[in-house]
Structure 1
Amino acid sequence: MRDVRRKFGQTPAIDGVTLSVSRGEILGIIGRSGAGKSTLIRCVNGLEQPDSGSIRIEGQEITGLDERALRPMRRRIGMVFQHFNLLSAKTVAQNIALPLKIAGQPKEARRKRVAELLDLVGLNDKAGHYPSQLSGGQKQRVGIARALAAEPALLLSDEATSALDPETTQSILALLKDINKKLGLTILLITHEMDVIRRIADRVIVLDRGRIVEEGPVWKVFANPQAPVTQSLLQVLAPTLPAFWAERLSPAINDMAIVRVNLSGDTARRPFFNELTAASGLATQLIHGGMDTIQGEPVGTIFIALPARDAEKFSAAIAHLNTHADAAEVLGYVSGDD
């Protein structure tokens, strides 16, 4: 996509978006409701024509194509929906076979492909079932199988796990990751859930009011979010200072400073507390927080208490944190007698 714009009335839904997706990549696109995510995905599959800009898929320009010219390109794009969009009067096998039937494939070829896909999504025993007989997770597996029927190069997932419970969400995300690895399938993942991005995306783009406000490898964006909207979206996953400490905080310098520290990558692999003590001469108390692993990289937020009465040593500690951590912020001070 290059400088893609789409307005509805005077309101820009997509406002100059430029991005590229590599073959075999899982790109997560996240933003609040109204950020432009759904409009963006509709532009990619040709359901929405941008007002200006260029969209190329596998080198072919799709903007400006009429419905007839778009059909071959749409066969290269699979779509997975939030509410499954299965045909209730057709069996699982018939739902999966529908794109192949529309494309004019012979019956035996359709039967063989459906069997392959049922095996891929783990529903071999459900071929003759109807959607009403399936759980939400099973329905989404059928939706994924149907999206893969025509062997697309690109899979568009529009809030595919939003209607599912947490356990089922994890199984669907694991399936998408497995399909990505087995088939080398490119996946464009639209979601408002940061946890979905964290679990399977390679790279993330954050949309706000139709514009890209932040992008990068998932672990880097999670480790040190720059845009306010990214920071807000990550709040639900990031550790917060427990009330026991938060209620005691004061802006006045006292015995102990409470400091929030973001760590990731090589810095998080080092002996953090030993190095901080060596640089400042201060003993550090860990009071809350934790580390995660994203894309093989350690990422985390911790809260520490640092003695603050010795101004020189305290300044040395803060200088060390500002140099070696992704981010460090003094949240306030507490008395050692509390």
Structure 2
Amino acid sequence: MTTLSSRPGNGQTGPADDLVIALHDVHRRFHAVQALDGISLEVRKGEILGIIGRSGAGKSTLIRCLNGLERPDRGSIRIEGTEIAGLTERALQPLRRRIGMIFQHFNLLSAKTVEENVALPLKIAGLAREERRARARALLDLVGLADKASAYPAALSGGQKQRVGIARALAAEPALLLSDEATSALDPETTRSILALLRDINRKLGLTIVLITHEMDVVRAVADRVAVIDAGRIVEEGPVWRVFSDPQAQITRSLLQGSRPQLPETLAARLGEPASGSTAILSLDAAGQAVVDGVQATLARLSPEGVRILHGGIEQIQSQPVARLFLGLPGEQALVDRVLSDLSAQGARLEVLGHVANPV
């Protein structure tokens, strides 16, 4: 059986020659629409980068620029050190073989078997039949479909079709895998299995992956780093755990609403000004083991004074604890100020959301 090559590295830091993607000040306009407005971005070997934004934010234009299907109006796009913005279509062909693509709707050829679909890029590249077949079967084994080699796409589930799409994208041993909303047509359970497969491939092969998505849960499940795009600009980027715990841009906070605990509507509807005997409602965000440990110890110390956790929790993102909590405490200003001071000293970020009349 053909063996699958492995590339080292997790892509987080490294020298300039470790860069797979380097974009600088990339612009692209379509008539009155500024699709990309000064995008600068780097992706290193072995990294999984999630690029997230709403529809129309510029995600699709960006991914088409990365594989040379769109040409920027100005700016630099380097793939493995090669400037591609000015290349002819002929000169782009070898580079495109270094880039695999997986799509939302699979794009499989219905008249070809699973094995033939996977082997198609190798046939185009001129490999001998036996070599194509061996490579295709090794890839089908990698994605868990070794028993489906002779099946046709119509006989497969959506998740199986996407696994075939992933195997086909890996056929030419690319340096870069681009995923364009590859899970948005799948149910949640199948999505989880596809994301686990992508993470497994990343670890086994050291493959660099860029995921284009509008779903924060996809980013949280698989990405090392996230870049948030809005109106053609990168408005925020960083490690996933840090962006989830401390979103800076309004668009990021909006995208995260479905992925982070929110104040229950029954409490939010009652928020008002301080009054005698009212309860102050605070939001608390904290991330990192030392910070979360300090917050928990401080809350335990403050609990005899009536400080309570009303909602929220602590989750693990990239092996880092991330806390999002909503606190209730007696509304006396002196106590509110002390709670804010004591928890802020531990590294937590707090906001007084308002007060509600008792009981809470």
TM-score, length of structure 2 as denominator length? 0.90
* Counterpart in the other structure of 1:302: 325
* Counterpart in the other structure of 2:138: 116
**2:315 paired with 1:292:** yes
Cα distance in 1 for residues equivalent to 2:330 and 2:296: 14
Q: Which amino acid aligns with 2:133?
A: R
How far 1:326 sits from its partner (Å)? 3.9
Identical aligned residues as a percent:
61
- Worse-matched range after superposition: 227-236 or 249-258: 249-258
Q: SS in structure 2 opposite 1:238?
A: coil
Q: Which amino acid aligns with 1:264?
A: A
* Counterpart in the other structure of 1:312: 334
* Counterpart in the other structure of 1:69: 91
**2:202 paired with 1:202:** no
What per-residue deviation string (whole Å, max 9, x for no partner) do you get for residues 166-206 of structure 1?
00000000000000000000001100000000011000000
The answer on whether the counterparts of 1:261 and 1:325 sit within 8 Å (CA) in structure 2 is: no
**2:204 paired with 1:179:** no
* Counterpart in the other structure of 1:125: 147
**Gapped regions of structure 1 (runs ≥ 5):** none
Cα distance in 2 for residues equivalent to 1:211 and 1:334: 40
Alignment of 1:98-117 (within 5 A): 98-117=120-139
Equivalent of residue 8 in structure 1, options 30, 53, 73: 30
Equivalent of residue 218 in structure 1, options 233, 240, 245: 240
* Counterpart in the other structure of 2:108: 86
Equivalent of residue 54 in structure 1, options 76, 79, 87: 76
The answer on whether the counterparts of 1:282 and 1:314 sit within 8 Å (CA) in structure 2 is: no
Cα distance in 1 for residues equivalent to 2:302 and 2:326: 19
Cα distance in 2 for residues equivalent to 1:2 and 1:241: 40
- Worse-matched range after superposition: 77-86 or 250-259: 250-259
The answer on whether the counterparts of 2:118 and 2:168 sit within 8 Å (CA) in structure 1 is: yes
Cα distance in 2 for residues equivalent to 1:332 and 1:3: 42
**Gapped regions of structure 2 (runs ≥ 5):** 1-22
How far 1:143 sits from its partner (Å)? 0.2
The verdict on how the C-alpha distance between 1:118 and 1:273 changes in structure 2, with shifts beyond 3 A counting, is closer
Cα distance in 2 for residues equivalent to 1:315 and 1:174: 45
The answer on whether the counterparts of 1:289 and 1:302 sit within 8 Å (CA) in structure 2 is: yes
How far 1:209 sits from its partner (Å)? 0.5
What per-residue deviation string (whole Å, max 9, x for no partner) do you get for residues 232-278 of structure 1?
00001111222332333222344311111111113543142442465
What per-residue deviation string (whole Å, max 9, x for no partner) do you get for residues 210-253 of structure 1?
00000000000000000000000000111122233233322234
**2:278 paired with 1:252:** no
**2:43 paired with 1:21:** yes
Q: SS in structure 1 opposite 2:56?
A: coil
Superposition CA RMSD, Å? 1.6
Cα distance in 2 for residues equivalent to 1:135 and 1:30: 27
The answer on whether the counterparts of 1:280 and 1:316 sit within 8 Å (CA) in structure 2 is: no
Task: Report the number of matched residues.
Answer: 337
